[in-house]
Amino acid sequence: MSGNVPMREVAQRTFATEFNDATYTFRESDEERAPVYVLLPTGEKANRVFVVGTLTETEDVGSDEEYWQGRIVDPTGTFFVYAGQYQPEAAGMLRETDTPAFVAVVGKPRTYETDDGTTNVSLRPEHLSVVTEADRHQWVVETAERTLERLDAFEDPDNEYAELARDQYGAMIAKYRETTINALESLEEDQEQSDDQF
């Protein structure tokens, strides 16, 4: 019975720096409804991603109807999320949430080409919720762990997605280790500032 029910893809954790570099998309089959993946430069496919950060800005960028843009900042950069009539719950959250606020988003990556030929990456949220600072700290730690695991597996000759990433992006992965370490260090600084206040 359950054989006909498609499994939902695991939501990958990625920092903004790597997510915004993930400009290559592909399908693994020719079926019409086959999922579209973005290829993370550290060698993993992602049909869905899980991010937590600070929602710093929201704006209705729609012309005829509401289409909300949100800027979500993590220690490495900025995610852009877009929600409209097909994501009413997320659009409502973006409309009603006072910024700044810590938020968690599970969504699908989307790539689009600008007029000047640049490929931008954004998130179409499936679920968006307000969370705590502790949730955000936990996400940074766990995302750092996942990123470092992908980096460690990058040189594995059997890692087909790493091979594909090398072909698409080159082996420019040192910066992801650096941004991951910087993200963890920023948490320590936040903690020290919090301790100083008490």
Pair type for strands 11-13 and 48-60: parallel
**Predicted confidence (pLDDT) per residue in 174-192, tens digit:** 999 999 999 999 998 877 7
Which residues, 6 or more positions from 120, have their beta carbon under 8 angstroms from its beta carbon?
A: 20, 80, 111, 112, 113, 114
151 pLDDT more than 90: yes
1 pLDDT more than 60: no
What are the boundaries of each domain within the chain? 2-189
The pLDDT of 57-63, averaged and rounded, is 95
As assigned by CATH, the class of the 2-189 domain is mainly beta
The pLDDT of 26-44, averaged and rounded, is 94
Determine what percent of the chain is predicted with pLDDT higher than 70.
94
Q: Say whether 136 sits in a helix, a strand or coil.
A: helix
